[in-house]
Structure 1
Amino acid sequence: MHELGVVMEVARVVEEFARENDVEEVDTIVLQVGELSSMIPKYIYDVYPAAVDGTMLEKTKLDIEIIPGNGQCVGCKTVFNILENHTACPNCQSTQFELLSGREFYIKEIVCY
């Protein structure tokens, strides 16, 4: 489970941001996670308390927004959700597509008091 290491790095980055900007309390951290990324939101939520234990983020909330895994068909240019359509274009059934989104992992927002 690599989520713990990644979430610990998120906590480090957020703490550094807070120190540099004289923020005393962080209310919520909002992450954006692509549905095709290697990060599993349930595991992120599960490891979050351990990752922030003993830090200034101990009482923060965590929100995760899922970014859909979208592709664009090479042949007909239809944009479609890769998982929902089992990697096949719903318009022409081609399995050749360009990945548009879904592998992201971002700190979208740090909500401070």
Structure 2
Amino acid sequence: MHEMSLCESVLQIIEQQAKAQQFAKVKTVWLEIGALSGVEPEAMHFSFEVVMQGSLADQARLEIIEMPGVAWCMPCGCEVLVQQLYDECPHCGSHQLQIVDGDQMRIKELEVE
């Protein structure tokens, strides 16, 4: 379950920002998670609760914003939405797609005290 290590990285970033921006408690964390990132939202929620216990984000709410996968089709030049890494272009049927968005995870926003 790599979501646990992802949550540990999120906590490290939160702690760094708390030190830099002088806040003591996190109430809500918004994460943007791409459809192609390989991150399972349910596992992320579970891992978040476990990892944040006893930290400045203990009892914080996790809000996940799911981002679509976007790819550029090399043969027809269209930008298309994809659900999986090896989807085909809905316009021309090609599998020569270059992922341009939706394969990442990032902290979008923090609500802090």
The TM-score normalised by the length of structure 2 is 0.89
**Equivalent-residue separation in structure 2 for 1:90 and 1:22 (angstroms):** 49
Unpaired runs of 5+ residues, structure 1, are: none
Per the TM alignment, residue 25 of structure 1 is displaced from its structure 2 partner at its CA by 2.2
Task: Give 1:36's aligned residue.
Answer: 36
Deviation sequence 1:31-52 (CA, Å, 0-9, x none): 1111111221110001111100
Please state how far the C-alpha of 1:56 moved relative to its aligned partner: 1.3
Amino acid at match of 1:6: L
Paired residues in the alignment total 112
Indicate the residue corresponding to 1:81 in structure 2.
Answer: 81
Structure 2 distance, partners of 1:4, 1:34, is 17
Q: 1:56 is paired with a residue of what secondary structure?
A: coil
Q: Would the aligned equivalents of 1:15 and 1:57 in 2 still touch at CA under 8 Å?
A: no
Q: CA deviation at 1:67?
A: 1.5
Which residue does the alignment assign to 1:23? Answer: 23
* Residue in 1 that maps onto 2:64: 64
For each residue in 1:58-109, what CA deviation from the matched residue of structure 2 results, as whole angstroms up to 9, or x when unmatched? 021111111211111111112212227x611111111111111121111111
- Provide the secondary structure at the position in 1 that maps to 2:72: strand
Aligned with 2:58: secondary structure? coil
Match status 1:108 vs 2:108: yes
> Is residue 2:26 matched to residue 1:52?
no
Task: Name the % identity.
Answer: 26
Structure 2 gap ranges (5+)? none
- CA-to-aligned-CA distance 1:9-58 (integer Å, 9 cap, x gap): 21121022112211122221111111111221110001111100111110
1:5 alignment partner, SS class = helix
The yes-or-no answer on 1:94 pairing with 2:91 is no
In 2: Cα distance, 1:95 partner to 1:38 partner = 20
Q: Which amino acid aligns with 1:55?
A: S
- The TM-score normalised by the length of structure 1 is 0.89
